[in-house]
């Protein structure tokens, strides 16, 4: 079944869209992300935020305005709106670079979306990031370059990596150990899985999205 997809463009560093929304997709400009879309001649379906990044609030048919005194970032509010609209896959742009605190917040957002059962990607700075929770991500043999894995919260247990330069077998990754950084694709089909916990993955944008993603049952043996 085709996933209902949302594109969200934020006000961080923006180097374009590596893919374009298709008919039926939802496109949200999160505050200053509206400026980027306007420069591309693209009209978002929804304009959302507190608009502290814009000199004035643009006129738009679907405007969702939030107070600047709020608990969530504009990007997180846009993601919550997308989920309310029934989207289960989200592409986040303009969420890296710029303010470091917002870049870190967007890594937290990736993890939260993964734990909510969403498939989400944070794209920019030449990289794609995603988070997996009790899940396997599979990459095609054509993938190349660096591949890094980060545990940013509680221990990630039952981590398997195959098809990379360095393998992991039923490993535990911790938030204060940099064990998963700077692995490499090898020209073979590759996968990573975590049986308990959440991991953030990072790879070169030119490799595109994983070939396959699937949730794993609790009793799955991490065999090749």
CA angle 190, 180, 104 (to 5 degrees): 110
d(CA 48, CA 31): 6
- Closest Cα to residue 200, out of 96, 98, 104, 110? 110
Q: Are 147 and 118 in contact (CB under 8 A)?
A: no
Q: Looking at residue 220, what is its pLDDT? A: 57
Contact in structure between 9 and 37 (CB atoms under 8 Å)? yes
Residue 75 has a pLDDT of 93
Please name each of the domains of the chain with its CATH number.
5-125 (3.40.50.10240), 130-215 (3.40.50.10240)
Q: If you search the block for the tokens 């935020």, which residue do you land on? A: 49
The dihedral built from the CA positions of residue 47, 117, 130 and 177, taken in this order, carries a sign that is positive
Alpha-carbon dihedral sign for residues 69, 72, 78, 80 = negative
Do residues 7 and 28 lie in contact, with contact meaning Cβ atoms separated by under 8 Å? Answer: yes
Per-residue tokens: 224: 């090749």
CB atoms within 10 A of CB 66: 14
Q: How far is CA 55 from CA 32, 49, 58, 76, 147, in A?
A: 10, 13, 9, 22, 40
How far is Cα 100 from Cα 90, in angstroms, rounded to an integer? 21
Q: Is 221 helix (H, G, I), strand (E, B) or coil?
A: coil
Predicted confidence at residue 219, as pLDDT, reads 62
Check: CB of residue 184 under 8 Å from CB of residue 146: yes
* Residue 175 three-state SS: coil
* Residue 52 pLDDT: 75
Task: For residue 57, report the phi and psi dihedrals to the nearest 5 degrees.
Answer: -75, 120
Q: What residues in the chain have per-residue pLDDT under 50? A: 221-224
């Amino acid at each position: 079944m085709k996933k209902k997809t949302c594109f969200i463009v934020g006000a961080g560093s923006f180097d374009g869209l590596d893919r374009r929304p298709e008919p039926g997709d939802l496109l949200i400009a999160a505050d200053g992300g509206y400026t980027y879309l306007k420069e591309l001649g693209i009209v978002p379906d929804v304009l959302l935020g507190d608009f502290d990044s814009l000199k004035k609030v643009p006129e738009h048919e679907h405007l969702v305005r939030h107070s600047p005194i709020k608990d969530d970032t504009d990007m997180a509010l846009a993601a919550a709106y997308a989920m309310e609209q029934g989207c289960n896959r989200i592409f986040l742009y303009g969420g890296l670079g710029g303010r470091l605190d917002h870049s870190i917040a967007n890594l937290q957002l990736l993890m939260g979306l993964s734990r909510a059962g969403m498939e989400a990607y944070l794209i920019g700075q030449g990289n794609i990031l995603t988070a997996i929770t009790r899940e396997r991500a599979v990459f095609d043999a054509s993938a190349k370059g660096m591949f890094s894995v980060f545990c940013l919260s509680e221990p990630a247990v039952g981590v398997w990596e195959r098809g990379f330069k360095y393998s992991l077998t039923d490993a535990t990754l911790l938030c204060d150990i940099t064990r998963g950084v700077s692995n490499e694709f090898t020209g073979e089909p590759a996968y990573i899985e975590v049986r308990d916990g959440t991991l953030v993955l990072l790879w070169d944008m030119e490799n595109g999205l994983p070939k396959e993603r699937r949730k794993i049952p609790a009793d799955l043996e991490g065999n090749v």
